[in-house]
Structure formats: structure tokens, C-alpha cells
């Protein structure tokens, strides 16, 4: 079991002792998603911390989307619960990159791959996402890569 998954398991035990219902429910759901990921595919596998973080990022994204939907429907209490769960899950993820750090990584990845044309967007994104290593949301990275390629190629 990865260190991150073990930490979540220990935190679940602590939350149960503290009777922290939101944390218990959130961690149970997240641990279940991690276990599901470990047995998905043809063969069960041991997940790395990066794999666990990827599952958690998906869970965080779902909470964001659900909170938005609840807010749009005027259901503030449910929206707040989703945001609380998001905060719990986010604590297990690496710090998000700031704009300057992200821009430096994007510039580096584009230069290293020689990507200058908008038609190279797919290859450029693959290289950049590898460099970013999950520390920034895909939409954010995509927007920056697209802007850089459009500026260069245009």
C-alpha cells in the first residue's frame, strides 16, 4: 500500500475515534475509489502515491462539479458539504503550482520538445502534463500551452 493510502487509512481511524462524520464518510469514499482503481483492469496492482493522487484529483474534481450544481440549484447546504469534502481530499494532494511556476514548466516542456505550432498541441500537452506531474489542473495547463503555441505559430 502506498504511503498516501496508508496515511488516509490512519486518518480514517482517527476520524472515527473523533466521531468526525464528514471526514469519515469522505475518507471511506476516497479509500474505496483507490481500492477500486487498484483492481481495475485485467490484473490487480499496487498503486503508487502518484496513482493514489490521480484518483484523489478525480474525486476533488467531482466535488467541485457537484458543489457548482448544488449552488446553481440554490442548495447551499449540500454545496457546502461538497466543498468540505473537497478540502479534506485536497489536503492529501501536492500543492498546486502557481502561475509563474506553471509557466516556467510549460516554457521548458515546449522548448525541450521543440513545439512551436498549434498543430503540435497534443504532443505539447503530453510533454507538459508529464512535467507538471499532477500539480496543476489539466484545463489550466491546456489553456497556457494553447496560448503559447498560438503566440509562437501565429
pLDDT for the residue numbered 44: 86
Q: Spell out a b/e string for 114-146, using b for 16 or more CB atoms within 10 Å of the CB, else e.
A: ebeebebbeebbebbbebbebbbbeeebeebbe
Query: Which has more pLDDT, 11 or 128?
Result: 11
- Against a cut of 0.75, is the pTM above it? no
Average pLDDT for 127-140: 81
pLDDT (tens digit, 9 = 90+) per residue, 92-113?
988 878 888 888 988 988 888 8
Average pLDDT for 38-57: 87
Amino acid at each position: 500500500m502506498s504511503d498516501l493510502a496508508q496515511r488516509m487509512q490512519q486518518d480514517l481511524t482517527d476520524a472515527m475515534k473523533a466521531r468526525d462524520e464528514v471526514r469519515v464518510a469522505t475518507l471511506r469514499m476516497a479509500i474505496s475509489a483507490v481500492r477500486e482503481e487498484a483492481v481495475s483492469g485485467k490484473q490487480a496492482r499496487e498503486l503508487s502515491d502518484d496513482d493514489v493522487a490521480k484518483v484523489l484529483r478525480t474525486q476533488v474534481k467531482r466535488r467541485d462539479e457537484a458543489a457548482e450544481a448544488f449552488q446553481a440549484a440554490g442548495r447551499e447546504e449540500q454545496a457546502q458539504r461538497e466543498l468540505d469534502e473537497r478540502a479534506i481530499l485536497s489536503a492529501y494532494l501536492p500543492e498546486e503550482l502557481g502561475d509563474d511556476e506553471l509557466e516556467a514548466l510549460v516554457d521548458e516542456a515546449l522548448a525541450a520538445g521543440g513545439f512551436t505550432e498549434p498543430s503540435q498541441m497534443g504532443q505539447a500537452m503530453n510533454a507538459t502534463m508529464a512535467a507538471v506531474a499532477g500539480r496543476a489542473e489539466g484545463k489550466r495547463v491546456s489553456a497556457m500551452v494553447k496560448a503559447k503555441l498560438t503566440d509562437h505559430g501565429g
